[in-house]
């Protein structure tokens, strides 16, 4: 009889452990981070709300009035045209063919464009920084409100920087030719090639 009682208690213990694993496992699976989805943009996306957006290599993505709760990522050889978008995270492009962000877009994070082609960032609000490095093609950063810094490093083919309101610094180094423009209101410092802009 004692042996039957012990086996029953062991079964109850095992069932209890399995139930706890299922309950806690279900909580982990349904956490918000696990539910975030990535939308692959191969054309145009209008006024809808998305978690994250990825622009694959060789594709052109046009976002118009789109809300993105996470990040917009442009892969090598991809192109982005974003007008009137609201991005809670960052816009990141590495090796992109081109990036255009305008139409009164709001980016709570930063805009980071590295080792790509031409870019145009105009008439937006950026809560973080605008960081562009080692890009080529005639480009511009104009009439933006920026909560941190504007950094333009090692750009080729010319970049115009004008009419921006910058809470941090305006920093430009190693660009050929040196950036042009003016009328930037900078709360921090205007440095190096941007000291007269």
Same domain, 105 and 152: yes
Q: Is 177 within the bounds of a domain?
A: yes
Q: Give the Cα separation of 129 and 162 in Å (integer).
A: 16
Domain shared by 28 and 96, yes or no? no
Task: Tell whether the model's pLDDT for residue 12 goes beyond 70.
Answer: no
Q: Above 70 in pLDDT, residue 43? A: yes
Contact indicator for 123, 103 with CB cutoff of 8 Å: yes
Peptide bond into 119 cis (omega under 30): no
CA distance 86 to 76: 23
> Does residue 25 share a domain with residue 91?
no
* Same structural domain, 12 and 108: no
Query: Sorting pLDDT into bands at 50, 70 and 90, what band is 10?
Result: low
What tens digit of pLDDT does each residue of 141-167 get? Answer: 999 999 999 999 999 999 999 999 999
Residues 6+ apart with CB under 8 A from 173: 152, 153, 154, 191, 192, 193
Angstrom CA distances, 150 to 59, 84, 117, 133, stand at 27, 21, 18, 11
Beta strands in 8-149 (DSSP E): 38-40, 44-45, 49-50, 52-55, 60-64, 67-68, 72-74, 79-83, 86-87, 91-94, 98-102, 106-107, 111-114, 118-122, 125-126, 130-133, 139-142, 145-146
Give the pLDDT band of residue 122 (cuts 50, 70, 90).
Answer: very high
Range of the domain at 57: 37-192
Whether 63 is covered by a domain: the verdict is yes
Give counts: helices (H), strands (E), the chain.
2, 25
Both 18 and 108 in one domain: the answer is: no
Same domain, 27 and 121: no
Q: Is residue 197 part of a domain?
A: no
- Cα-based distances in Å from 161 to 126, 170, 197: 15, 10, 7
Give the side-chain half-sphere CA count within 13 A for 134: 6
Report pLDDT for 13: 57
Asked if residue 145 and residue 57 are part of one domain, the reply reads yes
Whether 155 contacts 134, CB under 8 Å:
yes
Question: Does residue 82 sit in the same domain as residue 20?
Answer: no
pLDDT score recorded for residue 36: 73
Give the chain's domain count.
Answer: 2
């Amino acid at each position: 009889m004692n042996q039957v009682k012990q086996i029953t208690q062991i079964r109850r213990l095992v069932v209890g452990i399995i139930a706890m694993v299922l309950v806690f496992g279900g909580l982990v699976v349904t956490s918000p981070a696990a539910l975030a989805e990535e939308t692959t943009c191969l054309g145009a996306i209008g006024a809808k709300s998305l978690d994250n957006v990825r622009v694959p290599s060789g594709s052109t993505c046009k976002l118009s009035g789109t809300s993105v709760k996470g990040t917009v990522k442009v892969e090598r050889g991809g192109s982005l045209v974003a007008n009137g978008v609201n991005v809670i995270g960052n816009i990141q492009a590495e090796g992109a063919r081109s990036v255009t962000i305008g139409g009164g877009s709001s980016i709570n994070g930063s805009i980071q464009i590295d080792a790509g082609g031409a870019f145009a960032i105009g008439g937006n609000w950026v809560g973080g920084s605008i960081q562009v490095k080692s890009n080529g093609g005639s480009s511009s950063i104009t009439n933006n409100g920026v909560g941190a810094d504007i950094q333009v490093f090692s750009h080729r083919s010319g970049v115009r920087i004008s009419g921006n309101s910058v809470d941090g610094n305006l920093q430009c180094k190693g660009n050929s030719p040196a950036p042009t423009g003016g009328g930037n209101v900078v709360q921090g410092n205007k440095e190096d090639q941007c000291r007269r802009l």
